Amino acid sequence: MARTDDRFRSAYNTLLDICGNMEVGEQLPAETVLANRMEVSRTIVRGALQKLDSENLVEWEGRRKTLIRKPEPSHRLTLADNPPSTEELEQQFLDWILRFDIPAGTSLNVAQLSRQFGVPAHSLQEFLSGLSRFGLVERRPKGGWILSGFTAGFAIELSEFRLVLEMNAVRHLLALPDDHEIWSKLRDLKQEHEELKTDLASRYHDFSMLDGKFHATVNGIVKNRFVVEAQKLISLIFHYHYMWDKRDELERNAAAIEEHLDWINAMLDRDVERSEAAALKHLRRSKETLLNSLKGHQLV
Amino acid sequence: MARTDDRFRSAYNTLLDICGNMEVGEQLPAETVLANRMEVSRTIVRGALQKLDSENLVEWEGRRKTLIRKPEPSHRLTLADNPPSTEELEQQFLDWILRFDIPAGTSLNVAQLSRQFGVPAHSLQEFLSGLSRFGLVERRPKGGWILSGFTAGFAIELSEFRLVLEMNAVRHLLALPDDHEIWSKLRDLKQEHEELKTDLASRYHDFSMLDGKFHATVNGIVKNRFVVEAQKLISLIFHYHYMWDKRDELERNAAAIEEHLDWINAMLDRDVERSEAAALKHLRRSKETLLNSLKGHQLV
DNA sequence: ATTTTTGAATTTAATTATTAAATACAATAT
DNA sequence: ATATTGTATTTAATAATTAAATTCAAAAAT
């Protein structure tokens, strides 16, 4: 089979449901009506009707589609569970790179990875092609792909890019009016940081999540598809890095919480200079942490 | 044929060249040596040797590969001209969108476009997948692609992203030491702008090129793969826009030259505040121009 | 007569199958 | 002992195939 008939199978099942809600002897609506309701092409509707006819559930002739008997559970077709989405693939891929310390320069085997991740090879192909825009992977002249990213250079440039975008977000944020929802959000975040700080010893693992939430809130101010897209990659990599680098986690997180609090307080005070300085300090240290982690993992 | 044998054909031709530089009766080097020299696998080398043998140019038996006679031009294999690169595809695609005023929401036909652009369908697929990262195209749930970009929203967000990146470049530029090559480059650019200004009436078409050069010079200061990648898209779109929007071209370019000159002079004076103001002014007007052009083309 | 619906054909796109090319490994010659 | 070749296996690019969408004309219903 060249292409899966998942679409047909799920449409057939919904059609069974529609029949289930009708009385025997009733007429099914027109093909176009069914197609619209099921969000599927008429080709599929006709295919499903044909099957209903041959299963003696419906008598189909021209525009007469009479329900002969009610469908039973046994009539349903089984569906193959759909392959993971691009986001899931992205996560799996980064997870794999970090979990096994895949070094830069490793050549990627599309066939093997597609088996490993449970996706069709061409999906992975497209995914890699997308990543190549960010320089994380590269196409080799002879064909195939190599993992070129996750070097120190990559981390430095990613961090600097992050710095540019986030400083811009800070400037935008401080220009917002007093009645904007951001201020209450920031106050909530301040509270959460302080709570985590008091029992950090037992809950220090929770910082990764809070860190993500804080940066997302600040960056969320900038409504720009390019910025949003870039931040997706940035947060993905920084988040995964947090997940995998367990050295000095308590100390690192304690320091980061202080930096966040300084930054939040400065913003709540509407102090531009102090906010920028605090942001700069945190982002620069964050970069150093990422770099050190890469060194520790021999990914340099 | 599943896969083209372009690689084999070009390798065979290079092998003919190698034979041409040898004397009749001489021995060809080992397969591995040839493979390395031709940057190709041994499989191809062996295939080519087999063909040379069956053409009675070389007598091949085991590790004896004796040149029997010199190859002639007629022995060469014809090469299919290789498909356009990703960059060329990118240009063609944008060209097509702007030339025919393709409106946002148009569904893109991969099969037809791949014929039109002379690339394999899966190359185009990958290309679109890459563009989808920038939100210029989107994948439809039913399959296929739609052109979602080139709306006013896209132009606004692209311009604002450009502003963030370019202002950052300006700040970096002004921090460079006096002996950096950027200063002489800027002086050259100033000269070029002034020359173009004096006979603008006859040469105003040349501004598009100079504009590209100027922005590339400023942005070139930031050595960051993410910034570089983003700027590729930005300059592509702004450049194409210049090419296609011919309304008030002379006036627009005259104004832009003045803005550039103010900006260049401020930078040459190492005046941070004046440089940022000049940059901001130019970039904001540039955004308005792009927006107006889109309105004129009914792409909103 | 006009609109709606269907039948059939065409076009498009997702996936498999096939082939070219690369790689790995054992066998042989130097 | 080393270099080179012969053969088998693996991988990736492309063609072929099939599911599904779309189009258009004919038929039925209003």
Instruction: Indicate if B279 and B166 belong to the same structural domain.
Output: yes
Residue B208 to residues A76, B240, B244: CA-CA distances in angstroms?
63, 9, 11
Instruction: Indicate if A237 and A268 belong to the same structural domain.
Output: yes
In a domain, B80, yes or no: no
Residues in B closer than 8 angstroms to A229, CB to CB, are 133-135
Query: What are the residues whose beta carbons fall under 8 Å from the beta carbon of B42, sequence distance 6 or more?
Result: B31, B32, B35
Q: Do A165 and B164 touch (CB under 8 A)?
A: yes
In a domain, B230, yes or no: yes
Which pair of structure tokens corresponds to residue A272? 């531009």
Q: What is the pLDDT of residue A298?
A: 47
Task: Check residues 60 to 89 of chain B and report those whose beta carbon is under 7 Å from nucleic acid strand D.
Answer: 61-63, 65
Q: Contact at 8 Å (CB) between B200 and B257? A: yes
Q: What is the pLDDT of residue A86?
A: 65
Residues in B closer than 8 angstroms to A161, CB to CB, are 224, 226-227
In a domain, A80, yes or no: no
Q: Is the CB of A7 under 7 A from strand C?
A: no
Chosen for mutation from B164, B167, B171 (greatest number of chain A CBs closer than 10 Å) is B164
Q: What is the pLDDT of residues B148-197, one digit of tens each?
A: 767 788 888 999 999 999 999 999 999 999 999 999 999 999 999 999 99
pLDDT of residue B282 exceeding 90: yes
Those of residues 144-163 in B touching chain A at CB distance below 8 A are 154, 157-158, 160-161
Q: What is the pLDDT of residue B297?
A: 58
- Measured between CB atoms, does B122 come within 8 Å of chain A? yes
Instruction: Indicate if B92 and B217 belong to the same structural domain.
Output: no
Q: Residue B224: which CATH number?
A: 1.20.120.530
Q: Is the CB of B142 under 7 A from strand C?
A: no
Residue B140 to residues B94, B106, B107, B108, B144: CA-CA distances in angstroms?
20, 11, 9, 10, 6
Instruction: Indicate if B203 and B216 belong to the same structural domain.
Output: yes
In a domain, A106, yes or no: yes
pTM higher than 0.85 for the full model?
no
Instruction: Indicate if B22 and B95 belong to the same structural domain.
Output: no
Q: What is the pLDDT of residue B140?
A: 67
- Measured between CB atoms, does A225 come within 8 Å of chain B? yes
Q: What is the pLDDT of residue A125?
A: 76
Q: Residue B27: which CATH number?
A: 1.10.10.10
Query: What are the residues whose beta carbons fall under 8 Å from the beta carbon of B46, sequence distance 6 or more?
Result: B31
> Min CA distance, A18 vs chain B (Å)?
22
> How many domains does chain A divide into?
3
Place of tokens 């569904």: B107
Q: What is the pLDDT of residue B197?
A: 94
More confident residue, A85 or B290: B290
Instruction: Indicate if B135 and B64 belong to the same structural domain.
Output: no
Instruction: Indicate if A189 and A58 belong to the same structural domain.
Output: no
Residues in chain B: 300
Handedness of CA A131, A132, A135, A139 (dihedral sign): positive
Q: Do B133 and A133 touch (CB under 8 A)?
A: yes
* Protein-covered nucleotides on strand D (Cβ within 7 A): 3-8, 11-23, 28-29
Q: Helix, strand, coil proportions of chain B in percent (round to 5)?
A: 65, 5, 30
**DSSP run (H or E) holding A266:** helix A249-268
* Residue ending a domain, choose from A132, A147, A162: A147
pLDDT of residue B2 exceeding 60: yes
Residues in B closer than 8 angstroms to A235, CB to CB, are none
In a domain, A138, yes or no: yes
Instruction: Indicate if A162 and A287 belong to the same structural domain.
Output: yes
Could you tell me the distance in Å between the CA of residue B121 and the C1' of nucleotide C28? Answer: 46
* Residue ending a domain, choose from A94, A119, A147: A147
pLDDT band at B298 (very low <50, low <70, confident <90, very high): very low
Residues of chain A under the 50 pLDDT cut: 298-300
Average predicted confidence (pLDDT) for chain B: 85
Q: What is the pLDDT of residue A168?
A: 95
In what side-by-side order are the strands of the sheet with B145-147? B107-108, B145-147, B137-139
Instruction: Indicate if B260 and B241 belong to the same structural domain.
Output: yes
Instruction: Indicate if B195 and B140 belong to the same structural domain.
Output: no
* Protein-covered nucleotides on strand C (Cβ within 7 A): 4-9, 11-24, 29-30
Q: What is the pLDDT of residue A81?
A: 61
More confident residue, B290 or B80: B290
Q: What is the pLDDT of residue A142?
A: 61
In a domain, A1, yes or no: no
* Residue ending a domain, choose from A113, A132, A147: A147
In a domain, B90, yes or no: yes
Residues in B closer than 8 angstroms to A168, CB to CB, are 164
Q: What is the pLDDT of residue B69?
A: 92
Q: What is the pLDDT of residue A300?
A: 37
Q: What is the pLDDT of residue B191?
A: 97
Q: What is the pLDDT of residues B13-47, one digit of tens each?
A: 989 999 999 999 999 999 999 998 888 888 899 98
Q: Which domain holds residue A119?
A: 86-147
Instruction: Indicate if A140 and A156 belong to the same structural domain.
Output: no
Full DSSP string of B119-172: S-HHHHHHHHHHHHTTTSEEE-TTSSEEE--SSHHHHHHHHHHHHHHHHHHHHH
Instruction: Indicate if A56 and A137 belong to the same structural domain.
Output: no
Q: Contact at 8 Å (CB) between B299 and B151? A: yes
**DSSP run (H or E) holding A169:** helix A152-174
In a domain, B46, yes or no: yes
